[in-house]
Structure formats: structure tokens, C-alpha cells
Amino acid sequence: MANIDQAEGLRRLLAAPRPRVLTFLSVLKDDEKSGMLVNLGVTLARQGHQILMVDAQATSGSIGSWFSARKDRTLLDVARQQRTMQEAVKNIVPGLSVTMLSGQTGLSSHLPKESARLLSRTFDLVVHRSDLVIVDGDMDANNTFPLASLDDGELVVQVSPDPAAIKAAYGLIKRMSSRLGRRSFTILVSGASEKEANLIYANMTQTCQRYLAVPLHFAGYVPDDDCVRKAAHEGRSVIDAFPEARASMAFSRLAGQFAATARSALCPESFSGQGVDLGI
């Protein structure tokens, strides 16, 4: 009877509406991307959402390293029945947790089909525990993601006002659209003023529509703010260390934008409003 109940519970879980999965790609340095993801994740959690961050890169600068997630406790280990889900998912603060997809880079290029299938199923299971899933992702040389299911999620491209970064972001979108076809992408601008960010988005939208027939959406921007660097040096998020900083306000707006259509399963144990030590 227990096995029947478990199977029925699994069917109900997988039949439920899938939480939003956002895969973040960036043309900036790893520390700039990870720093943005840390602050966005903490801000979303403070707003009462259950957030899961998935490190799909397993590099020294990816989100798992920032949160000291263990590379021997991954979703791939869970798929292979070498670890439990509880061991693979690390709770950072109430409402925010992190897990590693695997302990190795370039996963999609050498993972056997059966392992890939089991990993995809494990990913689906852990995803349904959250309101919003943020994937620290990248593509391999074949322009593919470690999990095929990431193709169906939302793709967010982080860019800066630097002309080389804008050109690289366009190239990244071109690579993805050549494989995925006509689909939308979301743009997030870091280190820019509101005016700069809007201009970058407008120019990229015009170029992508003209040459790629690809629609873009604008998530928002984060200004260049020394408070972000000072908070990171203290191992804290900027919204905890400097709640009135320009960057804190920007991350609050970004969080509201990304969570606008996410499931509103609020956690009663969410932040009390006090700062927390992230251990980074």
C-alpha cells in the first residue's frame, strides 16, 4: 500500500503546474553573474518566495561555489541513488536553497542517455518543491544545455553597457536562436543607469527583431553600486547590509518582476527582516 501511495503522490506532483524555471546566461565575468544571482535570490526569498538555485556549471565562480555547495552531493548523485535529495539540496536561509546539477563541467557532452533521463526526472522532482527556480547555466560547444528541459524554460541574458558585452550578448542570443528557433529572451542589464539600460534594450530589441526575428523582454537593470561590493566583502547580500542602497532598490524591483507570475506559496518562516550571514 505504501508503494501505491508513493506512486500516486508522484503522479500528482508531476501533473501539477510546473514552477517557473529561469536559466541565467551571462557575457560578464563569473563573479559579476554570481553576485547578481546571490542578491536576486536573497531578495526573492525575503519577499516570501521559495527559491531554488541550481548550479549547472560547477565552476569555481558559479553559484554553487559562492554558497559552498558540495560537489559530491548533487542531483546527478540523487539520480544514481548515491545521495538523498535532502543531502543534495543545501538550505542557505529560509526561503532560499541551492543544489548542484553535477560535480563536473561540460555535463551534457558526455552523460549517457539513461543517466540524462534519470537526472531530468530528478530535476523535475526538486523543481516542484519551489515557487521559482533559478539556474546558473551555460551552453556547451554544441549550444546545448546540460538538461534538455531547460530549453522550455525562460532564458535570461545578463549584459552590461560595455560595447563588447553587448556584441557578445547578441552573439549568444544568435547561437541559442539558431538551435531553439524563434523564441523570446529576457534582458537584464548590470552596471547601468536606467537611461543606459533602456537604450541598450531598445537597440538590442531592434537588432534582434530585424536580423533574427527574435522578440526580447526587459527584466530591468542594476546600477553600478559600491554597496554591492562592500556587502559581498562582508559575506552578506546588499539588501541586508545596505537596505537603502540604489542596488537594493533595483534588486527589489527585479525580484518583483521575476516573481510576478510565479506561484505565490508563501513561507511562514521567511525572513524576519534581520540581516543574515550567507556564509560566502
Closest CA to 155 of 26, 7, 17, 8: 26
Has residue 270 got a pLDDT over 60? no
pLDDT band at 103 (very low <50, low <70, confident <90, very high): confident
Has residue 49 got a pLDDT over 90? yes
Of the candidate ranges 24-38, 106-120, 183-197, 259-273, the one whose mean pLDDT is the lowest: 259-273
Residues 46-56 have a mean pLDDT of 95
DSSP result, 158-207: EE-S-HHHHHHHHHHHHHHHHHH-S--EEEEEES--HHHHHHHHHHHHHH
pLDDT at 259: 87
Has residue 62 got a pLDDT over 80? yes
Domains of the chain from N-terminus onward: 16-258 (3.40.50.300)
- Taking the model in full, what pTM does it have? 0.86
pLDDT band at 106 (very low <50, low <70, confident <90, very high): low
**Whole-number mean pLDDT of the chain?**
86
Percent of the chain with pLDDT over 90: 68
